Amino acid sequence: MKTVKPRYLENSLQVVFFMCAAISTITTVAVIGILAFETWGFLQHVSIVEFLFGTRWSPLLHPKSYGLLPLLAGTTLIVVGASLVALPIGLACAIYLSEYAGERARNVLKPVLEVLAGIPTVVYGFFALTFVTPILRTVLPQTDVFNAASAAIVVGIMVLPMVASLCDDAFRAVPDNLREGAYSLGATSFEVTTRVVVPAGLSGVFAAFVLAISRAIGETMAVTLAAGATPNLTLNPLESIQTMTAYIVQVSLGDTPAGTLTYQTLFAVAAVLFLVTLCLNIAANMIMKRFQEVYE
Partner 1 sequence: MSSEENVILNIDDACISYGGDLAVRNVSLQIFEKKITAIIGPSGCGKSTLLRSLNRMNDFIHGCEQSGRISFRDEDLYGDKMDPVEVRLRIGMVFQRPNPFPKSIYRNVAWGPDINGLEGDLDDRVEKALRQSALWDEVKDRLHESALNLSGGQQQRLCIARALAMEPEIILMDEPCSALDPVSTARIEDLLFELKENYTIVIVTHNMQQAARVSQHTAFLENGVLVEYGDTEEVFTNPKNKRTEEYVTGRFG
Considering the complex, what minimum distance in angstroms separates the CB of residue 109 from partner 1? Answer: 18
Window 251-280: contact mask with partner 1 (x via CB under 8 A) = ------------------------------
Candidate residues 88, 111, 134, 181; the one interacting with partner 1 per rule CB under 8 A: 181
Q: How far is CA 37 from CA 29, 198, 249, 276, in A?
A: 12, 45, 20, 18
Q: Does 97 bind partner 1 (CB under 8 A)?
A: no
Q: How near is the Cβ of 96 to partner 1 at its closest, in Å?
A: 17
- Number of residues counted as binding partner 1 (CB under 8 A): 20
Q: How far is the CB of 200 from partner 1 (least distance, A)?
A: 5
Piece of 35-43, 63-71, 138-146, 184-192 that binds partner 1 (CB under 8 A): 184-192
Q: Are strands 65-66 and 57-58 parallel, antiparallel or unpaired?
A: antiparallel
Separation between Cα atoms, residue 209 and residue 79, nearest integer Å = 11
Is residue 114 a contact point for partner 1 (CB under 8 A)? no
80 binds partner 1 (CB under 8 A): no
Decide if 156 contacts 83 (C-beta within 8 A). Answer: yes
Q: How far apart are the first and last CA of the chain?
A: 45
- Which H/E stretch holds residue 66? strand 65-66
Pick the closest to residue 45 from 225, 236, 261 (CA basis): 261
Contacts of 170 (CB under 8 A, 6+ apart): 94, 201, 202, 203, 204, 205, 207, 208, 291
Q: Does 184 bind partner 1 (CB under 8 A)?
A: yes
All residues at 6 or more sequence positions from 206 whose CB lies less than 8 Å from its CB, including other chains: 284, 287
User: Is residue 294 a contact point for partner 1 (CB under 8 A)?
Assistant: yes
Among 24, 130, 188, 292, which residue sits at the site for partner 1 (rule: CB under 8 A)?
Answer: 188
Q: Nearest approach, Cβ of 197 to partner 1 (angstroms)?
A: 10
CB of 177 to partner 1, least distance (A): 4
Q: Is 191 in the site for partner 1 (CB under 8 A)?
A: yes
Nearer to partner 1, 196 or 284 (CB): 196
**C-beta closer to partner 1: residue 45 or 195:** 195
- Amino acid found at 135: I
In the chain, count H helices and then E strands.
14, 2
Looking at the Cβ atoms of 114 and 180, the one nearer to partner 1 is 180
Nearer Cβ to partner 1 (286/294) = 294
Residue 289 in contact with partner 1, rule: CB under 8 A: no
- Under the binding rule (CB under 8 A), the answer on residue 290 touching partner 1 is no
| CA pair distance 50, 62, nearest whole angstrom | 17
Write the interaction track for partner 1 spanning residues 193-232; mark x where CB under 8 A is met and - where it is not: --xx--xx--------------------------------
Q: Which residues contact 156 (CB under 8 A, 6 or more apart)?
A: 81, 82, 83, 84, 85, 86, 89, 216
Residues that bind partner 1 (CB under 8 A): 103, 175, 177-178, 180-188, 191, 195-196, 199-200, 294-295
